[in-house]
Amino acid sequence: MARTTGQPHRPTPASASPAPAAASAPARVREESEGGPASSGTPTPVTGPAEGGPASSGKKRKKTRGRVTVPTAQAIRDAAELLRPVVRRTPLELSSRLSNRVEQAVYLKREDIQVCRSYKVRGAYTFIAALPEEARAKGVACASAGNHAQGVAFACRKLRIHGKVFLPATTPRQKRERIADIGGRWITQVIGGEAFDDAAQAAAEYSRESGATLVPPFDDAAIVAGQGTVALEILDQLPEPPHTIVVPVGGGGLLAGVALWVKTHAPATRVIGVEPEGAPSLRAALEAGRPVSLQNVESFVDGAAVRRVGSVPFDVVRDLVDAVVTVPEGAVCTEMLDLYQTEGIIAEPAGALATAALRGYLPEVPTGPVVCIVSGGNNDVSRYADVLERSLVHEGLRHYFLVTFPQQPGALRFFLEEVLAEGEDIVLFEYVKKNSRETGPALVGIDLAAASGLERLLQRMDGSPLKIEKLAPDSAVFEFLL
């Protein structure tokens, strides 16, 4: 069973295998090649007997004609053949910044430059390509935070199948526009609800009423098989299996596919799942022993803001994944900025989850090469102001205060000259009561040169005659005012 603590757990199939020795960076990564245009014929369904290796559970594997009903390593291999002429074989790139951070070679699996700029196209195409002609004629439907919808749109246009996508209202504008561009006349969008699960309910109702096939974003064996092709490529691109593969988690489809392939072909490699702290649906499922619904979901990491992890992925993850960790949204924002400023990668929040885990959130220090999956790059540029804000607050470089100034001359000057010191800058100053400034406090935002300067600032505030209240980032007042 996967654990959510710092103590690692070795899955049964790997327990007899020796742990990999600490290794330096492999000398090279095999050259990549992009897939060409899709073939004109109908893609081959994902079928075939299970390949040797661990199963997702002790139950007997079942198959139906043309469809996969239980994830297997063989299904992943079949999906890879299906996808070869359709999607890109994304590169595996060495990150000097992250390698220096963990003192091991760290490679980035660049699914952010995949077709549709996300790994999601792998699972969507694998699922839709296996539909019989009768189902294709009735069309497909899906619910998505954006990336799955783009994958469905791509598959619909390639296979000439009509589809309708349901998206939560929090989906960034950039993703909505991309869906329209990718799908063209083959796709219709329906936007509503605050979270993925609201969109999922609407999509399910439409599917029941219209007869359209519902394309799940993660809770299906064929989807898991398609996503698992990421791991197939990783192991093929490195001369030796890595010590650790770090995988972002939303509904669990990518993590399940990666774990299934890796534990079959490189069982000593550790597989770590990473969730946003505000949407730990997999961690909740592991603690409960089954998928459960979260009461509240923080939607900032929209590509992973899932209220309930999938049942099919959970059955795989529970048995094969070594650990699951959570990362604060602020740390994700800091990593997004570092990816852009250092590696030149424009990652969406979910795309930065895996690399953000290297900022001290892994259960143990890696003793060999690490691969982090950069799962998507569909980020709306207009969000970067919010990304920067969250990063500064998380790093302790930006703080907010309610300051009540006495009604006497020179009160503001005293605050500027006696309370603030060099390197402490006001970035926000506004009165809370717009129509009664004389009696209300002012909301003041202050940037520090270093997080360590906060203690000295608070001491000067306590020693001043002003009434000053620091707003905690997790307080209701902070969220209301900012």
**Which pTM does this prediction carry?**
0.83
Mean pLDDT for 375-387 is 90
| Distance in Å from the first CA to the final CA of the chain | 41
Mean pLDDT for 327-355 is 97
Phi, psi of 453 (to 5 degrees): -80, -5
The two tokens of residue 361 are 């959130």
With 80 as the cut, is the pLDDT of residue 341 above it?
Answer: yes
d(CA 145, CA 306): 9
Say yes or no: domain 121-214 is CATH 3.40.50.1100: yes
With 90 as the cut, is the pLDDT of residue 435 above it?
Answer: no
The two tokens of residue 148 are 């799955």
pLDDT category at 46 given cuts 50, 70, 90 is very low
Amino acid occupying residue 317 = V
With 70 as the cut, is the pLDDT of residue 101 above it?
Answer: yes
What are the helix (H) ranges across 396-435? Answer: 411-414
Q: Would you tell me how many other CB atoms lie within 10 Å of the CB of residue 358?
A: 24
Q: Where are the domains of the chain?
A: 70-119+219-387, 121-214, 396-481
d(CA 221, CA 225): 6
Beta-carbon contacts of residue 457 (< 8 Å; ≥ 6 apart): 399, 419, 420, 421, 424, 446, 448
Mean pLDDT for 13-18 is 35
Amino acid occupying residue 285 = A
Total count of residues recorded for the chain:
482
Residue 217 and residue 155 in contact, taking contact as beta carbons nearer than 8 Å:
no
Residue 6 and residue 291 in contact, taking contact as beta carbons nearer than 8 Å:
no
d(CA 361, CA 482): 27
User: Could you confirm whether 24 is annotated as catalytic?
Assistant: no
| Confidence at residue 172, expressed as pLDDT on a 0 to 100 scale | 74
| Confidence at residue 426, expressed as pLDDT on a 0 to 100 scale | 96
56, 95, 120, 281: which one is catalytic?
A: 120
Burial class (CB in 10 A: 0-12, 13-18, 19+), 23: middle
Residue 76 and residue 229 in contact, taking contact as beta carbons nearer than 8 Å:
yes
d(CA 356, CA 391): 12
CATH class of the 70-119+219-387 domain in this structure: alpha beta
| Confidence at residue 162, expressed as pLDDT on a 0 to 100 scale | 97
Q: Of 438, 442, 443, nearest to 478 (Cα)?
A: 443
pLDDT tens for 62-85 read: 333 356 677 899 999 999 999 999
95, 144, 281, 375: which one is catalytic?
A: 375
d(CA 59, CA 48): 17
User: Greater confidence, 405 or 343?
Assistant: 343
pLDDT tens for 172-215 read: 787 788 899 999 999 999 998 877 778 888 999 999 999 999 99
With 90 as the cut, is the pLDDT of residue 325 above it?
Answer: yes
| Confidence at residue 59, expressed as pLDDT on a 0 to 100 scale | 40
The two tokens of residue 269 are 């490699």
Q: Would you tell me how many other CB atoms lie within 10 Å of the CB of residue 169?
A: 12
d(CA 41, CA 48): 20
| Confidence at residue 138, expressed as pLDDT on a 0 to 100 scale | 97
Percentage of the chain with pLDDT > 90?
A: 70
The two tokens of residue 313 are 């992925």
pLDDT category at 381 given cuts 50, 70, 90 is confident
| Separation in Å, CA 32 to CA 90, 234, 261, 268 | 7, 11, 20, 25
Residue 127 and residue 66 in contact, taking contact as beta carbons nearer than 8 Å:
no
Q: Would you tell me how many other CB atoms lie within 10 Å of the CB of residue 229?
A: 27
| Confidence at residue 14, expressed as pLDDT on a 0 to 100 scale | 36
Q: Of 93, 128, 73, nearest to 258 (Cα)?
A: 73
pLDDT category at 61 given cuts 50, 70, 90 is very low
* Fold match between domain 70-119+219-387 and domain 121-214: yes
Mean pLDDT for 40-55 is 37
| Confidence at residue 478, expressed as pLDDT on a 0 to 100 scale | 79
**Edge-to-edge strands, sheet with 442-447:** 425-431, 442-447, 398-404, 467-471
Phi, psi of 286 (to 5 degrees): -65, -40
With 90 as the cut, is the pLDDT of residue 354 above it?
Answer: yes
H or E element, residue 325: strand 323-327
pLDDT tens for 156-177 read: 999 999 999 998 887 778 778 8
Mean pLDDT for 378-404 is 93
Residue 287 and residue 2 in contact, taking contact as beta carbons nearer than 8 Å:
no
Burial class (CB in 10 A: 0-12, 13-18, 19+), 138: middle
The domain made up of 396-481 has a fold known as Alpha-Beta Plaits (3.30.70)
Q: Would you tell me how many other CB atoms lie within 10 Å of the CB of residue 18?
A: 7
d(CA 462, CA 469): 10
Beta-carbon contacts of residue 58 (< 8 Å; ≥ 6 apart): none
Mean pLDDT over the full length of the chain: 86
| Confidence at residue 84, expressed as pLDDT on a 0 to 100 scale | 97
The two tokens of residue 280 are 């730990």
With 90 as the cut, is the pLDDT of residue 146 above it?
Answer: no
pLDDT tens for 235-289 read: 999 999 999 999 999 999 999 999 999 999 999 999 999 999 999 999 999 999 9
Residue 290 and residue 57 in contact, taking contact as beta carbons nearer than 8 Å:
no
Mean pLDDT for 220-240 is 97
With 60 as the cut, is the pLDDT of residue 120 above it?
Answer: yes
Residue 350 and residue 327 in contact, taking contact as beta carbons nearer than 8 Å:
no
User: Could you confirm whether 59 is annotated as catalytic?
Assistant: no
